[in-house]
Amino acid sequence: MSDSAGNEGSGTAVPPAAGDGTRAVRAGLPEPVKHEPTLPGPVFAAHFHLPGEPTGPYAYGRDENPTWTHLERAIGELEAPGGEGVETLVFASGMAAISSVLFSQLRAGDAVVLPSDGYQALPLVRAQLEAYGIEVRTAPTGGDAQLDVLDGARLLWIESPSNPGLDVCDIRRLVEAAHARGALVAVDNTLATPLGQRPLELGADFSVASGTKQLTGHGDVLLGYVAGRDAEAMASVRRWRKIVGAISGPMEAWLAHRSIATLQLRVDQQNASALTVAQALRRRPEVSGLRYPGLPDDPAHKIASEQMQRFGCVVSFTLPTRARADRFLDALRLVDDATSFGGVRSTAERRGRWGGDAVPEGFIRLSVGAEDPADLVADLLRALDESAD
Ligand SMILES: *Cc1c(COP(=O)(O)O)cnc(C)c1O
């Protein structure tokens, strides 16, 4: 095997100053080898030939896999262009990645600060952390409210922009306050993608994300990752992955890597359309509470523009009643009624149907896809008209 494991440096070094499109299409590609494919296919292997002393990277498929190595390099190059010593680990899902950080870094007696308005599985995680004797504090993302409950915490968990409310906090400010108190900081970077926000450059210790959403963008893969700079902390995250075995299959890892080549094309198209859609929806009288961090007068816009390069493809808003929201979703033709977000095909859902988020009954989370924005706007406005009382 000519390619060695680990995440130090990539084969075909793309200058860190290269544009996002260049970095996305070349991310994680190995050194060119005559007659080999530019992106090697998935390596399906539970074990590898390993005579003698068990040294070297690839021994057993739960620990390492060459297809992961390429993907981990790719994500690392996007999360921290030119960043020395950044290590990235891929997981079976975003939740596997999140759990690996929380459960590897926290011990009984520690305190952790979570967002009160974060991803809907966080309350389940909270219950499990508490069962293990960890104190869990929560505060909203907006207004940097997590600052008020930081004293004595071992880990601060940030989700910015938050899902589904799209609030934003000042990551640099929270990191500074947390580090001054000796706490580690993890940022859930799912909604922004590494082309929208780079938490490690804002000072965070871990950038953690679900790759299921816009990073891979086709609604056909579950994936998660953790990127971090602290070798010791990352070693314990790696150990956790080995213990729980929450590993990505080689096919999923390869599909994810292939999808990252179009990340810049997708985010630029989808995010620009999200702004167009938000501007069209805000003019409608039945739409309230419209949020999109890219809207110049959104409450999150000022901080978002100081720490984000792109504002995501998710728009949220509220229709007057649950019935109206259901009729609106039914009337849409170009937008699937489905959960998740970030895919090339637009999706929307009435978020309250899950019961986990503190949102009004008529709250809609809309994920803007890669359709032509004029078609999307027409479909959304028609569905609003048709669903009127
Ligand atoms: C979807 C999501 C997750 C969980 O990711 P999975 O890949 O579904 O496990 C975590 N955080 C955020 C913000 C998400 O949107």
Mean pLDDT by 10 residues, the chain (389 residues): 41 80 97 96 98 92 97 97 93 98 98 96 97 98 98 98 96 98 98 98 98 98 98 98 98 98 98 98 97 98 98 98 98 97 98 86 97 98 96
Comparing C-alpha atoms, which of 271, 264, 94 is closest to residue 190? 94
DSSP classification of residue 133: T
Beta strands 224-228 and 363-367: pairing type?
Answer: unpaired
Give me the amino acid identity at 14. Answer: V
The CA 35 to ligand 1 mean position distance, Å, reads 38
Looking at residue 6, its pLDDT comes to: 43
Domain 3-260 sits in CATH at 3.40.640.10
User: What are the residue ranges spanned by the domains of the chain?
Assistant: 3-260, 265-386
- Residues within 6 Å of ligand 1 by CB: 93-95, 98, 119, 159, 163, 188, 190-191, 210, 212-213, 222, 224
Which DSSP string do the residues of 296-363 spell out, in sequence order? TTSTTHHHHHHH-S---SEEEEE-SSHHHHHHHHHH-SSSEE-S----SS-EEEEGGGGS-S---TTE
Given the structure tokens 């009624």, which residue do they identify? 337
Q: Report how far residue 304's alpha carbon sits from residue 200's, in angstroms, rounded to the nearest whole number.
A: 16
Give 3-state DSSP helix, strand, coil % of the chain, rounded to 5.
35, 15, 50
The CA 100 to ligand 1 mean position distance, Å, reads 13
Q: Report how far residue 279's alpha carbon sits from residue 377's, in angstroms, rounded to the nearest whole number.
A: 10
User: CA of 199: how far to CAs of 45, 171, 261, in Å?
Assistant: 33, 8, 21
Looking at residue 90, its pLDDT comes to: 98
Comparing C-alpha atoms, which of 54, 41, 84 is closest to residue 250? 41
Cis amide linkage into residue 37, ω under 30° from 0: no
Q: Report how far residue 349's alpha carbon sits from residue 6's, in angstroms, rounded to the nearest whole number.
A: 40
DSSP classification of residue 283: T
Which SS3 state, helix, strand or coil, does residue 213 take? coil
Q: Which CATH superfamily is domain 265-386 in?
A: Aspartate Aminotransferase, domain 1 (3.90.1150.10)
Looking at residue 5, its pLDDT comes to: 42
Q: What are phi and psi of 185, to 5 degrees?
A: -130, 130
The CA 119 to ligand 1 mean position distance, Å, reads 7
Residue 356, both tokens = 């986990």
Please tell me the residue having the least CA distance from ligand 1 atom 11.
119
Please tell me the residue having the least CA distance from ligand 1 atom 2.
210
Q: What is the pTM of this model?
A: 0.96
Counting from 1 in the atom list of ligand 1, the atom nearest the Cα of 163 is 13
Residue 288, both tokens = 């309230």
Per DSSP, what are the bridge partners of residue 87? 228
Looking at residue 29, its pLDDT comes to: 97
DSSP classification of residue 263: H
Looking at residue 366, its pLDDT comes to: 98
User: CA of 64: how far to CAs of 7, 195, 221, in Å?
Assistant: 12, 26, 19
Q: Where are the beta strands (DSSP E) in the chain?
A: 87-91, 111-115, 135-139, 155-159, 184-188, 206-210, 224-228, 288-291, 314-318, 336-337, 347-350, 363-367
Q: Pocket of ligand 1, candidates 90, 168, 213: which has the most ligand atoms within 8 Å of its Cβ, to mutate?
A: 213
Looking at residue 11, its pLDDT comes to: 53
Looking at residue 16, its pLDDT comes to: 80
Which SS3 state, helix, strand or coil, does residue 227 take? strand
Q: What are phi and psi of 117, to 5 degrees?
A: -120, 30
First-to-last alpha carbon distance for the chain, in angstroms, is 66
User: CA of 160: how far to CAs of 125, 272, 275, in Å?
Assistant: 18, 19, 18
